[in-house]
A = this chain, B = another copy of it.
């Protein structure tokens, strides 16, 4: 089969997923104890090897699906990580991807089955290989993305309150946001629509539920938070 590049060496290529979720007003990612040698037992991102019959994006989708059973998830490549000895077993080049999911979409039983946990991003343990570095880059890219594109909604239920949305952005940026200024900016974006529904879970008075209207956004794609 190898007809053109005989003289060159092949290498293992894997993907690692930084799966972001938002829960209890905290930004979290899914990590677990590595179940494979080398490094068995160390905290680790969930990953997998790229097969010859799939693109790297497909490998990332498949890996995420293996873990969560979810498809059509928002995923973006972070970049390739390729120090010679980044994997203690073999030469492995890994391509990191981050994903944004709604925590409630991830079945608890499945999560437990796979032995992964939602861990606060501010509170990560030391992880296997260069996984901390991957997360740090992923987080930067993700928060930059969230400033100018309406991708944060992937982390929320379809209906959300403005306070939820604000807490999400506070968690992502790692800083408090002025409530009035925040709501002013939201009001300027017509594709974030107030519904008639009221959420009573988080307050006695109740808060309006909002929804992100994708079609309306496409007609006037001006997002900034």
Contact = CB atoms under 8 A, between A and B. Distances in A.
Nearest to A86: B55
A79 B82 contact: no
A47 B24 CA distance: 47
Contacts of A201: none
Given A10-B10, A12-B10, A90-B4, A80 B79 contact: yes
Contacts of A36: 4
Query: By DSSP majority rule, is chain A's interface helix, strand, loop, or mixed?
Result: loop
Contacts of A59: 82
Interface stretch (A25-33, A91-99, A163-171): A91-99
A152 to B, nearest CB: 20
A92 B9 CA distance: 11
Number of identical monomers bound together in the oligomeric complex:
2
Contacts of A56: 80-82, 93
A82 B4 contact: no
Contacts of A118: none
A95 B84 CA distance: 15
A1 B11 CA distance: 12
A49 B80 contact: no
Given A57-B82, A84-B53, A4 B77 contact: no
A50 interface: yes
Interface in A31-50: 36-38, 49-50
Nearest to A92: B5
Contacts of A219: none
A4 B37 CA distance: 7
A40 to B, nearest CB: 11
A83 interface: yes
